[in-house]
Structures are given as C-alpha cells and as structure tokens.
C-alpha cells in the first residue's frame, strides 16, 4: 500500500515519493508570536502533526522544521501596516523578545496538551537574519530585485511561472491596475527587506547592505527551510490562507535564487469556521485551549473534534459540536478501558485503518474503523490494534485518566481507611457515602484505597 497525499501544486492526489529513500524533510509554517494561538491556528498544527505521525507510521524518518515569526509580519499580509511584534510590544509595554518568548511558551504548552509532537527544529526569524540577507543578496545578483524608498522588492514579472501554486492568472493581475502601486512595479511584487522609517525607533532592526531595517515575512521561511532541509525538500505545510501570497512568494524567491524546484509536495489545512466565517486573530480570534479548559473541555476532546473532519475541508466550530465530540471521546475511552490485552493484532481492522490514513489522511474514516472495532463483539486483538492506531490518532486512547483528587476527599479517604483498620464498619460506610455524595468513588484494592469519579 502506498501513501497518497493531495498536492496543492498539482491539484492532485499523488503517491508520496521522498527525495531520499526512507527519509522526509518537512517544513511547517509556524506561529507569529505576538498573541495567543486560537483553536483555528491549532487546527492547522494538529493537521501537520497527523501528517508527521502518518509518515512515521509508514516508517519514514522525519525531520520537521517549524519557524517562529518574531519579526517582519505586518498587519496586512502584503507589505503594509505595522509589524505585528512591534505593535504588541508597544501595547504590552514589553520588549519584542519578551513577547515572542511568552507566546511561544504558551504555544508549546498547547502542543503538549493536544499531544502534538514538537518539531525537530524550531527556528526564530530573528536568529537567522544573516541567512535572509544572504538570500536577498543572491536574488539581487541575479537581477530579481529593485529598490524603492521603503525597501528592497522582488520583481515578480521576472519569473515566468510566478503564481503557479495559487494558479494566479497574469491577466487577472493586470485587471487590478487601479490599485495604488506606489513605487512597486507589479501588484504582486513583495518586500524582501524593509527599511526602518527612522533608524533607532524600532526595537528590532539590523544593518544590511541596503540600509538599516528588517526582513520581509516571506524570506524567513525560504531562508530557514533551505538552511535546515536543503534547496529542494519534500513537504511544506500551512493553512490554506497561505497559498496565494506567503507560499507563492516563498516559491518565487527560492526558485529564483537556486534555479531548482523548491518543494515537491505542498499541503494545506482548511479553516476552522465559526458562524460561517474563518476564525481569525485579527477579528478577535475565538477561544484558546485554556479557555476551552475553563469551560470544562479537555484538550484531547478538541483534538478528537478536529479529527472528525478531513483536513482539507472547513470545519464548523460551536460549543455544541465540541460537546458532541466530548461525549464521543469519553464514551470511546470508557469502552476501551474495559478491553483486555490478548497480545494479538486484528489485521483486518488494522488494514482498513491503514487504507484510510494512507488515503490522504482520511481521519474521519479512520475514526469510523476504530469505532467499528470497539463495537465488534467478536473481534480479537482489540487492545494491540488500538495501540497501533493511536500512534496516529494521538488521542491517548489506552491511558487511564489520572484524576486529581481534592484535599477534602483525600482526608475523608484517610479517615475511612483508619475506620476500617479499627473495624468501625458503620463509620467506614458512612464515610464512603459522604465521598460518593461529593462525586468520588472509593474501592478497596490490595495496595490501598483507589479513588475514582462517579
Ligand atoms: P499565524 O500565527 O497567524 O501566522 O497563523 C498560524 C497558522 O494558523 C497558519 O498556518 C494559518 O494558516 C493558520 N490559520 C489561521 N487561521 C486559521 C483558521 N481559522 N483555521 C485553521 N488554520 C488557521
Ligand atoms: Zn511560512
């Protein structure tokens, strides 16, 4: 069986063929760390994590690189507006790196909660200024750049297949002529290096051969992905909003600089939607994982919710929809907790599962196979098969909950233990009832009292 994935570049489902046998280089566009990541952003990273886990399941050695955008992402994805990091730093009265580190820390905590594996390499844009300048110099030497009063721009008309990822039509671009171009030669031209308006005012700026300033948002991903994965690598992922500008420009500048194909497979995750609109930070976002927790949801219930939709299709969020996933996930875990390990694998179900994941990561179908297996009274090998499947689901299906027991309950349990030791059975029963009324159960196991939730 072969792994097939949908490639945005060709608009086709293709059999995945790595550049080097048995190995995969994968770059995932990471967060802009000026604010909390909302559950829409996190849907994108769950998708990349599933892809990574499916590749590992298929026995590939994976090197995943993720960038951290801590400079240069302006409030409009084009080259206008304020730098998101500088704006946040001003607002919060902190320095830009404090902001970046704070939100990156929260982001990594969310990864842990959602059981998303960390990439093999995290790379910050501000720690790779040298590489970005080198890349711009290369482009300049090859005649792809020009200077305006606010920066160094990439001339998209110099590249004959500019826009191939998004299938941008040259005529369509011409039609937008009425847009004020400023000094830009073509609407699609983008900044490689922006000059500081007044050097010394910005918190983050660097010297460069062209003047004091900072790199454009797109150049960081080209420079860092090529540094860690080579000039041509296997897979690049991101949210679907990146197709028309960010990834289009990454391809343009990378291929112009090297003369080689940049990435073989481009994969994009569809949006999380709320009331018919894309969930977005600029519109105030939606919940964070911590906020969902405050509302009584477990992070893995959100992961389950995300897996109920195919990554390439929009997913509608509502608390009601999440509640349905919560119930399904808890029911699933309850059923699984009763399953005994017979040390066998159920090949039939595992094959159905593999077919689903290898078919462009069809997780909704994979979940159906799992449900069919747990409900099949005659099936053997359930435990070990679920263990295999969970390598991809990442839902901790076999882990027993570690419940946190409040001090008050611990005290009652200790009192009951004492009563039992003293053979005061009536008191012990009364204490058990009291514990039950507070929502906890207590069993007398060999190793002592075991506390659970009723
Ligand atoms: P940002 O931190 O804004 O650069 O976004 C991080 C990632 O989240 C990018 O890959 C975006 O494409 C993705 N993203 C943004 N909004 C959504 C959404 N509503 N649903 C899914 N992914 C999103
Ligand atoms: Zn990127």
- Lowest mean pLDDT: which of 218-227, 302-311, 433-442? 433-442
Q: Is 276 a residue whose pLDDT tops 50?
A: yes
Question: Could you tell me if 192 and 332 lie in one domain?
Answer: no
401 falls within a domain: no
Residue 275 near residue 16, CB atoms below 8 Å: no
Same domain, 16 and 100: yes
Boundary residue ending a domain (269, 296, 316): 269
Determine the distance separating the centroid of ligand 2 and the alpha carbon of 66, expressed in angstroms.
9
The whole-chain average pLDDT of the chain stands at 92
- At residue 109 the predicted structure's pLDDT band, cuts being 50, 70 and 90, is very high
Task: Assess contact for 64 and 116: CB atoms under 8 A.
Answer: no
What number is the average pLDDT over the span 213-242? Answer: 97
- 307/166 same-domain check: no
Last residue of a domain, one of 269, 302, 317: 269
Same domain, 324 and 259: no
Q: Is residue 411 situated within a structural domain?
A: yes
Does one domain contain both 47 and 144?
Answer: yes
List the domain range (segments joined by +) for residue 190.
4-269
Supply the pLDDT for residue 93: 86
Which segment of 5-19, 73-87, 373-387, 402-416 scores lowest on mean pLDDT?
A: 73-87
Residue 100 within any structural domain of the chain: yes
Q: Give the integer Cα–Cα distance in Å for 261 and 254.
A: 8
Closest approach atom of ligand 1 to CA 43? 21
- Cα distance between residue 427 and residue 438, in whole Å: 17
d(CA 123, CA 31): 11
Position 452 scores a pLDDT of 74
Cα distances (Å, whole numbers) of residue 171 to 177, 183, 187: 10, 21, 12
Q: Is residue 345 part of a domain?
A: yes
pLDDT digits (tens, 9 = 90+) for 163-179: 999 988 765 554 445 55
Ligand nearest to the CA of 263: 2
**Residue 71 confidence class, pLDDT cut points 50, 70, 90:** confident
In the predicted structure, residue 180 carries a pLDDT above the cut 90: no
**Threshold 0.85, pTM exceeds:** yes
For the chain, what is the domain count?
A: 3
399 in any annotated domain: no
Our answer on whether the CB atom of 236 is closer than 6 Å to any ligand 1 atom is: no
- pLDDT at residue number 74: 83
pLDDT digits (tens, 9 = 90+) for 378-401: 999 999 999 999 999 999 999 987
| Interatomic CA distance for residues 159 and 253, integer angstroms | 9
Q: State how beta strands 272-274 and 263-269 pair.
A: unpaired
Instruction: Specify whether 118 is located in the same domain as 171.
Output: yes
| pLDDT above 70 as % of the chain | 95
Q: What is the pLDDT of residue 128?
A: 97
Same domain, 189 and 145: yes
Using the mean position of ligand 1's atoms as its centre, give its distance from the Cα of residue 239 in Å: 5
- Contact between 334 and 326 (Cβ < 8 Å): no
Q: How far apart are CA 374 and CA 69, in angstroms?
A: 43
Answer whether residue 146 is part of any domain: yes
| End position of a domain, from candidates 236, 251, 269 | 269
Give the helix/strand (H/E) hosting 448. Answer: strand 448-453
Q: What is the CATH number of the domain that holds 194?
A: 3.40.50.620
* 109 and 246 assigned to the same domain: yes
Residue 40: is its pLDDT beyond 70?
Answer: yes
Q: How far apart are CA 344 and CA 384, in angstroms?
A: 6
Considering the domain architecture, whether residues 36 and 68 belong to the same structural domain is answered as yes
Decide if 402 is inside a domain.
Answer: no
- Phi, psi (degrees; rounded to nearest 5) at 294: -60, -30
Q: Is the pLDDT of residue 275 over 50?
A: yes
More confident residue, 277 or 349: 349
- Give the pLDDT confidence score for residue 142 in this predicted structure: 98
The preferred substitution site among 44, 99, 247, 275 for testing ligand 1, maximizing ligand atoms within 8 Å of CB, is 44
Q: Minimum mean pLDDT among 307-311, 332-336, 344-348, 406-410: which range?
A: 406-410
User: Are residues 249 and 152 located together in one domain of the fold?
Assistant: yes
Q: What is the pLDDT of residue 287?
A: 92
Q: 74-78, 146-150, 248-252, 324-328 — which is least confidently predicted? A: 74-78
For residue 317 and ligand 1, the question of a CB distance below 6 A is answered with no
| Structure confidence at residue 114 (pLDDT) | 98
Protein residue closest via CA to atom 9 of ligand 1: 239
**What share of the chain in percent tops pLDDT 90?**
78
pLDDT tier, 89 (very low <50, low <70, confident <90, very high otherwise): confident
* Rounded-to-integer distance, Cα 278 and Cα 312, Å: 14
Question: Is 342 part of any domain?
Answer: yes
107 or 197, greater pLDDT? 107
235 plus 285 within the same structural domain: no
Same domain, 197 and 338: no
Mutate to test the pocket of ligand 1, among 29, 37, 41 (most ligand atoms within 8 A of CB): 41
């Amino acid at each position: 069986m072969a792994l097939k994935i949908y490639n945005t570049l060709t608009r086709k489902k293709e059999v995945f063929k790595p550049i080097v046998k048995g190995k995969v280089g994968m770059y995932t566009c990471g967060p802009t760390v000026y604010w909390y990541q909302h559950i829409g952003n996190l849907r994108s990273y769950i998708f990349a994590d599933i892809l990574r886990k499916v590749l590992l399941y298929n026995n590939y050695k994976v090197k995943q690189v993720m960038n951290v955008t801590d400079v240069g992402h302006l409030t409009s994805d084009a080259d206008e507006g304020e730098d998101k990091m500088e704006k946040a730093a001003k607002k919060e009265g902190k320095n830009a790196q404090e902001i970046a580190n704070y939100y990156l820390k929260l982001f990594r905590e969310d990864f842990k909660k959602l059981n998303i594996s960390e990439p093999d390499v995290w790379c910050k844009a501000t720690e790779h200024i040298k590489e970005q300048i080198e890349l711009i110099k290369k482009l300049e030497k090859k005649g792809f750049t020009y200077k305006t009063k606010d920066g160094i721009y990439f001339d998209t008309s110099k590249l004959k297949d500019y826009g191939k990822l998004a299938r941008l039509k040259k005529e369509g671009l011409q039609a937008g002529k009425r847009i004020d171009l400023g000094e830009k030669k073509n609407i699609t031209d983008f900044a490689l290096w922006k000059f500081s308006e007044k050097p010394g005012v910005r918190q983050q700026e660097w010297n460069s051969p062209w003047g004091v300033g900072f790199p454009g948002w797109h150049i960081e991903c080209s420079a860092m992905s090529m540094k860690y994965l080579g000039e041509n690598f296997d897979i690049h992922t991101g949210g679907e909003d990146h197709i028309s500008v960010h990834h289009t420009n990454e391809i343009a500048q990378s291929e112009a600089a090297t003369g080689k194909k940049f990435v073989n497979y481009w994969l994009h995750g569809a949006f999380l939607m709320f009331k018919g609109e894309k969930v977005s930070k600029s519109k105030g976002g939606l919940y964070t994982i911590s906020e969902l927790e405050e509302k009584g949801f477990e992070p893995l219930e959100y992961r389950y919710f995300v897996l109920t939709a195919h990554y390439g299709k929009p997913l509608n969020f509502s608390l009601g929809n999440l509640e349905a996933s919560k119930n399904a996930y808890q029911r699933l875990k309850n059923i699984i907790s009763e399953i005994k390990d017979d040390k066998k694998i159920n090949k039939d179900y595992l094959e159905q599962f593999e077919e689903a994941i290898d078919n462009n990561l069809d997780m909704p179908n994979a979940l159906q196979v799992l449900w069919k297996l747990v409900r099949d009274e005659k099936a053997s090998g359930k435990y070990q098969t679920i263990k295999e499947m969970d390598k991809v689901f990442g839902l901790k299906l076999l882990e027993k909950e570690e419940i946190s027991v409040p001090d008050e309950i611990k005290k009652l349990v200790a009192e009951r233990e004492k009563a039992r030791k003293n053979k005061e059975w009536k008191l012990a029963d009364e204490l058990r009832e009291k514990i039950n009324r507070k929502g906890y159960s207590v069993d007398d196991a060999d190793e002592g009292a075991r506390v659970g939730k009723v």
